């Protein structure tokens, strides 16, 4: 059974329609890359999944129709979002930021700080004093502290130094290897996405135009819709 099932998803910003027909499925433990050029609707799809914006169509998580649930309840079903722009509380310490989102489960402070040792070293530092890469690790840590069954990473490596990007990709690979967490990834670097993802879904102007095993993604399709 799918953990997340999306079909015929549509969404409008006022009178401007952004999503027309998004189709996407994620099985438990699966890593899926959501790809497409800038402005094609990836972040909007994520906002619909997290019920930050009203949408229409089929949107089912773990057998529950998300459209029938108020958004605060949907958030508790086990969807952990690492939003674009790595938001955290700048005036709180690393530890306080992590504890603020904690829910019962396997992931606690110790586990997050083992995944990202830099966070352990900066445990009592204010988030505002962290580098961009460390703030991104903190944002991922905050999502993990909610003990999600689906982790969504929206451009988690954007704008970071190569060495930090590598650390984040290594952490994603470890999550895939060591946990049963499903992961939805949005990122601009195809090579890394190909290494870690089981499946790919490509959207173009708010519609799914290709989906399947990442290993079967034809080069002409990625060139046409992703631009590589």
| Footprint of ligand ATP (CB under 6 A) | 13, 16, 18, 36, 38-44
Question: Which of 25, 204 has the CB closer to ligand ATP?
Answer: 204
Question: Which of 43, 179 has the CB closer to ligand ATP?
Answer: 43
Least Cβ distance, residue 41 to ligand ATP (angstroms): 4
Least Cβ distance, residue 211 to ligand ATP (angstroms): 16
Question: Which of 63, 132 has the CB closer to ligand ATP?
Answer: 132
Question: Which of 133, 206 has the CB closer to ligand ATP?
Answer: 206
Question: Which of 38, 124 has the CB closer to ligand ATP?
Answer: 38
Least Cβ distance, residue 54 to ligand ATP (angstroms): 13
Least Cβ distance, residue 18 to ligand ATP (angstroms): 4
Instruction: State how far the Cα of 66 lies from the Cα of 40, in Å rounded to an integer.
Output: 23
Question: Which of 111, 158 has the CB closer to ligand ATP?
Answer: 158
Nearest to 9 by CA among 174, 211, 203: 203
Nearest to 182 by CA among 170, 191, 172, 190: 172
Least Cβ distance, residue 212 to ligand ATP (angstroms): 19
Least Cβ distance, residue 63 to ligand ATP (angstroms): 27
Instruction: State how far the Cα of 9 lies from the Cα of 55, in Å rounded to an integer.
Output: 7
Is the separation of the CB atoms in 154 and 186 below 8 Å? yes
Instruction: State how far the Cα of 225 lies from the Cα of 76, in Å rounded to an integer.
Output: 34
């Amino acid at each position: 059974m799918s953990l997340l099932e999306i079909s015929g998803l549509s969404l409008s910003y006022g009178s401007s329609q952004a999503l027309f027909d998004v189709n996407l499925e994620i099985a438990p433990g699966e890593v899926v890359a959501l790809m497409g050029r800038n402005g094609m609707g990836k972040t909007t799809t994520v906002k619909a999944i997290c019920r930050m914006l009203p949408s229409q169509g089929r949107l089912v998580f773990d057998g529950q129709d998300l459209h029938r649930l108020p958004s605060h309840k949907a958030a508790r079903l086990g969807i952990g979002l690492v939003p674009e722009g790595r938001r955290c509380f700048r005036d709180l310490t690393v530890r306080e930021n992590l504890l603020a989102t904690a829910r019962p489960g396997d992931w606690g402070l110790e586990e997050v700080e083992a995944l990202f040792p830099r966070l352990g070293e900066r445990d009592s530092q204010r988030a505002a004093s962290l580098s961009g890469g460390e703030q991104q690790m903190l944002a991922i840590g905050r999502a993990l502290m909610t003990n999600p069954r689906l982790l969504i990473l929206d451009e988690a490596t954007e704008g970071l130094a190569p060495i930090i990007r590598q650390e984040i990709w290594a952490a994603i690979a470890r999550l895939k290897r060591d946990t049963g967490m499903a992961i939805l990834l949005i990122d601009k670097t195809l090579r890394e996405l190909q290494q870690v993802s089981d499946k790919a879904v490509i959207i173009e102007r708010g519609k799914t135009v290709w989906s399947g095993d990442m290993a079967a993604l034809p080069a002409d399709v990625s060139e046409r819709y992703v631009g590589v």
